Amino acid sequence: MATVLEKTHPPFRNEAVRTFADPAERAAQAAAIERFLTQSEQRYPIIIGAERLTPEPAVPSITPADPDRHAGWYFEATPQLADRAIAEAENAFASWSHVAWEERAGLLFRAAAAMRARKDDFNASMIVEVGKPWVEADADTAEAIDFLEFYAREALRLSGRQPAVPSPLPEENWLEYLPLGVGVVLPPWNFPLAIMAGMTTAAIVTGNTVVLKPSPDSTIIAARFVDLLIELGLPPGVVNFLPGGAEVGEHLVEHSRTRFISFTGSMAVGLHINEVAAKPREGQIWIKRVVAEMGGKDAVVVAKDGDLDAAADGIVASAFGFSGQKCSAASRAIVEEPIYEALKAKVLERVAKLQIGNPAENASVDVGPVVNEKAYQRIQKAIARAVEEGGRVAAGGKPAELAGYFIQPTVVENVTPEKTLAQEEVFGPVLAFIKARDFDDALAIANGTKYGLTGALYSSDPEKLERGVREFHVGNLYMNRKCTGALVGVHPFGGFNMSGTDSKAGGHDYLLLFVQAKSIAKKR
């Protein structure tokens, strides 16, 4: 029988992403950015249970488009505060785990509605704090709303007794999903609202409690989301907000009362978390579960029969959207030799038209800053190394002449499959252009890294497209379209090999990662 919530909520549909062509929408978003900038002195406390803590000194969240400004101030936790946060989460779990699934789902539905009403303000926080262009920020907020709406419906689907095959014995049989316990949520800065909100709410809607340690580069965004949940009635201790550095993160992962770790970030950190979590600690009575979405070295393969204009559009959008700072970003264009020069020319033509600038000052910016000075230096070193290894810079290759951490959209040609730029994740606006002898060679090159997250294949040949389905070894494959822009429910997201545990965020399998199944037989 359908629940009241199921009856009152229509089937899931993705939230629309705005282009800001409407002058009224542009004006409203500009006003929200101004409001956010006037709040740069606001301080966002640590939240543990019902307490709000402000252990000095406060830390500024630097804005990458203008390092002399900041988005707000936060406070860094210590391992001792991490212990308190775990304890508060464990105390809250005793009651939250028994709250009805429908009530927990209701919180997510209310949060989605509230976020929908405050889109411009959430967008503004991302435009300023991490330098997202307007449409990218709006897509991030839309995805966060999608996660809330989708996971709420998934919780209703998983609630209550799950049917079993009828038994030949005189007994009643069913299965129920139970929450795991206290989880640690470690989200990234590149989708600072969507992924953070999705990871957090997937855990709590299934009855778990969490300690949320946001990235230092997007702490203010996370703080505002937690404030929203509390405003809507989230009980104390269900989500504990704990900014901090690597020492705090390590302590949370190691803690004997941590039941699971949900992580999105780099391969190196994800592998370390997996290793640390695998070692049982004194008093630990479970095997910790690790949900890890890590990096990628994503390829766009273009066959000689592909649509070159469509491929060029897809490559540029995938490679340089949000300055290439996406695990799904196109990092390699692998092109069959007969069309290599023609496609390269089309890509370079489009790259030359990209507008670089501060998104907080210009709604039309295509490419904003990279996230911080460390990334700025690392990306420049990656470009220099590519040149040292024989690559030729066909476009970009230098910092943009702007105040913040801006790097020109860069295309490097003459890259062979074994070179560093063809193997290692850059996480910036850098694209390796790679020549393949034929389609077989192109697929071999695409599969020739330790990653397997996303990929795109452009071809008009049904046989080649079918081969892509069978042989292109990635978790998310897109044919004749770009390799970024996964939609919740439509493109469940997660990758193979060193790209993570193939979590399929935004899919029907995802909430199962945060529960354990209990089979029950009752004799009649």
Catalytic residues: 293, 327
Distance between CA 367 and CA 321 in Å, rounded?
A: 7
Strand, coil or helix: what is 173? strand
Neighbour tally for 337: CB within 10 Å:
13
Q: Write out the DSSP string of 317-384.
A: HHHHGGGG-STTSEEEEEEEGGGHHHHHHHHHHHHTTPPBS-TTT-TT-SB---SSHHHHHHHHHHHH
Distance between CA 494 and CA 498 in Å, rounded?
A: 11
Q: Write out the DSSP string of 73-129.
A: EE----HHHHHHHHHHHHHHHHHHTTS-HHHHHHHHHHHHHHHHHTHHHHHHHHHHH
Distance between CA 189 and CA 186 in Å, rounded?
A: 10
Contact 183, 203 (CB under 8 A): yes
Residue with tokens 């790097």: 407
Which helix (H) or strand (E) covers residue 194, if one does? helix 194-205
Spatial strand order of the sheet with 43-44 comes to 43-44, 66-74, 59-63
Nearest Cα residue to 189 out of 120, 266, 133: 266
Helix, strand, coil abundance in the chain, percent, nearest 5:
40, 20, 40
Strand pairing of 43-44 and 182-186? unpaired
Give backbone dihedrals phi and psi of 179, rounded to 5 degrees, phi first.
-70, 160
